[in-house]
Chain A
Amino acid sequence: NAGVMQNPRHLVRRRGQEARLRCSPMKGHSHVYWYRQLPEEGLKFMVYLQKENIIDESGMPKERFSAEFPKEGPSILRIQQVVRGDSAAYFCASSPTGFRTGGQPQHFGDGTRLSIL
């Protein structure tokens, strides 16, 4: 399966713990996007990364949230000191190019469901 792979599918954390969500883009894709979906809502953009660079993080909360896409390995979305309001589905998407350079669709993974106790 050459699709976008996210793990874990489900993650349970207690308040104050850290959550790490992983995303491996489709083969040949160098652009990664993270979106968050709160219950009964649509997806909201969080951050856009290329290898080793954060391009746009305008949708990321200012504190506790960080993202990276290293030269080797998956993209990681990290949430420190989680709170109940962080409970949501987190989706990762990838594309071979950005809209400006090629106009390619974004392909989405199955998401990680994060539950905070």
Chain B
Amino acid sequence: GIQVEQSPPDLILQEGANSTLRCNFSDSVNNLQWFHQNPWGQLINLFYIPSGTKQNGRLSATTVATERYSLLYISSSQTTDSGVYFCAVPTNFGNEKLTFGTGTRLTIIP
């Protein structure tokens, strides 16, 4: 099955800072999702982005499928952005089950 690596594993930032989170995957994908797991454990859908760029408020994401990576940008960080960010891709091309990355733990300090 596909391998999914995220970097950095941990990130500590001051409120107001910008950040870039990376997701590398080992094989071709036709789908990719970004999630935020908040400190209460809830999993929040951020983006469904198999290719191209999308923006939603202070967050944006870019997937370059041909080079097998995706980036999540967070601008003007707020303390509510703290939590773990996961990317997930189909385990095999065209498959339904998702393989999750290792996650990036983001801590925003007031």
Contacts and interface: CB of A to CB of B under 8 A. Distances in A.
Nearest to A31: B96
A117 to B, nearest CB: 20
A42 B86 contact: yes
A8 interface: no
A105 B31 CA distance: 8
A44 B43 contact: no
Interface string B29-44: 0110101000001110
Interface residues of B, number: 24
A100 B41 contact: no
Contacts of A103: 30-31, 50
The secondary-structure label for the interface of chain A is strand
B29 to A, nearest CB: 10
A15 interface: no
A108 interface: yes
A44 B100 contact: yes
Contacts of A69: none
Contacts, number: 62
Contacts of B90: 99
Interface string A44-67: 110010000001101100000000
Nearest to B84: A42
Contacts of B28: none
Interface residues of A, number: 27
14 contacts: A33-B97, A33-B98, A35-B100, A42-B101, A43-B86, A56-B96, A95-B96, A99-B96, A100-B96, A104-B48, A106-B33, A106-B98, A108-B35, A108-B43
Interface of A: 31, 33, 35, 42-45, 48, 55-56, 58-59, 89, 91, 95, 98-100, 103-108, 110-111, 113
Given A42-B101, A108-B43, 18 more contacts: A35-B98, A35-B100, A42-B102, A43-B100, A45-B91, A48-B96, A56-B97, A59-B97, A91-B43, A95-B96, A98-B96, A99-B94, A103-B30, A104-B48, A108-B45, A111-B42, A111-B43, A113-B41
